[in-house]
Amino acid sequence: MPQSGPVGLIGLGLLGQALAQRLIGAGFAVTGFDIEAAKGAALAKLGGRPAASIAEVARQSAPIVLAVFSTDQVEEVIERDLIAALGERSNKILLCASTCDPDRVAALAKRVAARGLRFLETPVSGSSGQVARGEGVGLIGGEAQTAAEVEPILQALFPTRFHIGEAGDGGRAKLAVNLILGLNRLALAEGLTFAERLGLDPAAFLKVARNSAACSQVMDVKGAKMVSGDFAAEGRISQHLKDVHLMLEQAARIGQKLPALEVHADVLEACVRQGEGDIDNCGIIREIKRRR
């Protein structure tokens, strides 16, 4: 059955605001909720309507997009708040854009299906800035028919997207992509620091690196920020550390050693200890420079 009504959005942080921009820019009405009132005010400035509660979003919206921080929060919002507000057999579609534990997401999808909800996993690869510009890559997990029903919304959110497989598979792909992405940031931070300590101008060296065989998208997105010390968050260190912990947990489950990721986790944890958890994830260059 086709979904109708404004798109609901729960979680209005960096990712949530970027998703709201995409939806509103494509002509969708958006009703959103966040526990921080200031984030609701930011949604209103974008042209969306802040709601007073999750229940209000649930009653007035179809489908509903979740962009909260963690797997725990996704489970809590759906199983405590949304099901209570919607009741059984609402048939609403939930799109989960959060990066979660893929095994728990797969189990959650089965649980909510038994309660009359449909669950589509929609994590996205890319910073919040990239997502807002339509450069994020959607990694879809769930039933193809469900995805087809919300095709216009998926197109607005993720002009580039891949249907990976079942619920949980999108998250598995996201963790693997984020592993590579994070290590690219770490390598860039080390390379820039190394070049500078060798006596090279880091800005000039970045231009060389971007035209070399070492070039990566990370140089375009994060290079200038690292060089200038602009750590305004488009993806926070604490957020990526959360993802790294998920990767290491999955690796332990399957018996895979990830030595480079363990080093990256150590660098991220050191940044958090220094009070840098809320700065942009390219701020890991600060810790690289501290390690002398």
Residue 267 covered by a domain: yes
Same domain for 159 and 178, yes or no, is no
pLDDT tens-digit series, residues 78-123: 999 999 999 888 999 999 999 999 999 999 999 999 999 999 999 9
Q: How many domains does the chain have?
A: 2
As a whole number of angstroms, the distance between CA 67 and CA 122 comes to 10
- Show the domain range for 23: 7-167
Relative to beta strand 137-141, strand 124-125 is: antiparallel
Which residue's structure tokens are 């420079």?
289
Residues 242 and 255 both lie in one domain:
yes
Among residues 118, 139, 167, the one where a domain terminates is: 167
Q: Which of 135, 151, 167 represents a domain boundary (last residue)?
A: 167
Q: 60 and 202: one domain? A: no
Query: The domain spanning residue 218 has which CATH number?
Result: 1.10.1040.10
Structural domain contains residue 2: no
For residue 189, being part of any structural domain is answered with yes
pTM above 0.85, yes or no: yes
User: Do 193 and 150 sit in the same domain of this protein?
Assistant: no
CATH number at 20 reads 3.40.50.720
Looking at the structure, do residues 227 and 140 belong to the same domain, yes or no?
no
User: Residue 242 class from Cβ within 10 Å (0-12 exposed, 13-18 middle, 19+ buried)?
Assistant: middle
CA distance 90 to 83: 9
* 42 plus 97 within the same structural domain: yes
Residues in the chain: 292
**Can you count the helices (H) and strands (E) in the chain?**
16, 9
- pLDDT at residue 183 tops 70: yes
Same domain, 111 and 182: no
Q: What is the mean pLDDT of residues 212-238?
A: 97
Amino acid in the structure at residue 78? I
Classify the phi-psi angles of 31: left when phi > 0, otherwise alpha if psi is within -120 to 50, otherwise beta.
beta
Q: Which of 133, 132, 78 is nearest to 100 (CA)?
A: 78
Supply φ then ψ for residue 65, to 5 degrees.
-105, 130
Over the stretch 5-53, which tens digit does the pLDDT of each residue have? 799 999 999 999 999 999 999 999 999 999 999 999 999 999 999 999 9
Q: How confident is the model at residue 4 (pLDDT cuts 50, 70, 90)?
A: low
Domain ends where: 149, 167, 185? 167
Q: What angle do CA 274, 237, 166 make, to 5 degrees?
A: 150
What is the percent of the chain where pLDDT is above 90?
96
pLDDT of 1 reads 36
- Comparing CA positions, the residue from 55, 281, 106 lying closest to residue 181 is 281
pLDDT interval class at 2 (50, 70, 90): very low
Facing residues of 15 across strands? none
Average pLDDT over residues 236-258: 97
Look at strands 118-121 and 93-96 and give their pairing.
parallel
User: Does the pLDDT value for residue 3 go beyond 70?
Assistant: no
Residues forming a β-bridge with 143 = none
Give the residue from 191, 281, 235 showing the smallest Cα distance to 17: 235
Let me know whether 49 and 115 are in one domain. yes
In a domain, 1, yes or no: no
Query: Do 237 and 113 share a structural domain?
Result: no
What's the whole-number average pLDDT of the chain? 96
Residue showing tokens 């958006």: 30
Angle, alpha carbons 117-121-126 (nearest 5°): 150
**What's the pLDDT tens digit per position in 122-152?**
999 999 999 999 999 999 999 999 999 999 9
- Strand residue runs (E) in the chain: 7-10, 30-33, 49-50, 64-66, 93-96, 118-121, 124-125, 137-141, 160-165
Residue 228 pLDDT level (bands cut at 50, 70, 90)? very high
Burial class (CB in 10 A: 0-12, 13-18, 19+), 155: middle
Which tens digits make up the pLDDT trace of 49-89?
999 999 999 998 889 999 999 999 999 999 999 999 998 88
3-state secondary structure at position 23? helix
